[in-house]
Amino acid sequence: MKFLILFSSLIILFFSIVLHEVAHGLMAERHGDPTARMMGRITLNPLAHIDPVGTILLPLIMIVFGSPFIFGWAKPVPINPRNLNNPKRDMMWIALAGPATNFVLSLFLALAFRVLVRPGTIAETILFYGVTINLVLAFMNLIPIPPLDGSRILSGLLPDRYNFRLAQLEPFGFIILIPLLFIVFRLFMPVILGISFRLIGGVPLTFFR
């Protein structure tokens, strides 16, 4: 049973990050940049989005070390700012599309939980993890550190003179993020779990008893 829950969680994580990247590509296309479609990245074919580290290695490491959450990312969709109608503003909306998609997915899975799931079935735990995974992806990507989406959103709000300073962090982004991930989620994972429980209606999960 635990293997089935773990396997299902990995499948949900994988397709959630794929949809996250597809949303970036669709928003870029809407604002004038067809690069993602031309490169074959606006697709649900998972092979087009696999990042060896973010899609495979990092989730496996988290599982092996018993991490209380699973996080990952897909290969970023290519975007050419020169094709955008208003590069600074449009990049902000393109960045926001990814986390927004994960928020919508968490709501959809929570609705499925309320409408379709019977208490005592394995589906209730799988859907709960699905809600939580998408909330984790949304909140994590809103952290304003390059190359996460939150930095692109912040860049659209900041004056240009500060954007240069923010961009200088990008080569060191993942070095900063790895320890930050564990610190942030030690502090905020209870909050995210609380939101998940509220979204599913506060139902006590059988498999957590």
Number of domains making up the chain? 1
Task: Give the chain's mean pLDDT.
Answer: 84
Question: Model confidence at 209, in pLDDT bands (50, 70, 90)?
Answer: very low
Q: Look at residue 175 in the predicted model and tell me its pLDDT.
A: 72
Q: Are 113 and 52 in contact (CB under 8 A)?
A: no
For 176, the domain range is: 2-208
CB atoms within 10 A of CB 193: 17
**Predicted confidence (pLDDT) at residue 200 exceeds the cutoff of 70:** yes
Please check whether residue 74 is in contact with residue 17, taking contact to mean a CB–CB distance below 8 angstroms. yes
Q: Over the stretch 112-131, which tens digit does the pLDDT of each residue have?
A: 888 877 777 788 888 888 89
- CA 112 vs. chain centroid, Å, equals 20
Amino acid 136: pLDDT: 87
Q: Which residues are known catalytic residues?
A: 21
Residue 206 has pLDDT above 70, yes or no: no
Residues 6+ apart with CB under 8 A from 30: none
- The pLDDT of residue 208 is 46
Q: What is the pLDDT of residues 148-169, one digit of tens each?
A: 899 899 988 888 777 777 777 7
Between 138 and 161, residue with greater pLDDT: 138
Determine the pLDDT at residue 1.
66
- Tens of pLDDT, residue by residue over 60-91, are 887 777 665 667 788 999 999 999 999 999 99
For 2-31, how does the pLDDT look when each residue is reduced to its tens digit (9 = 90+)?
Answer: 778 778 888 898 899 999 999 999 999 999
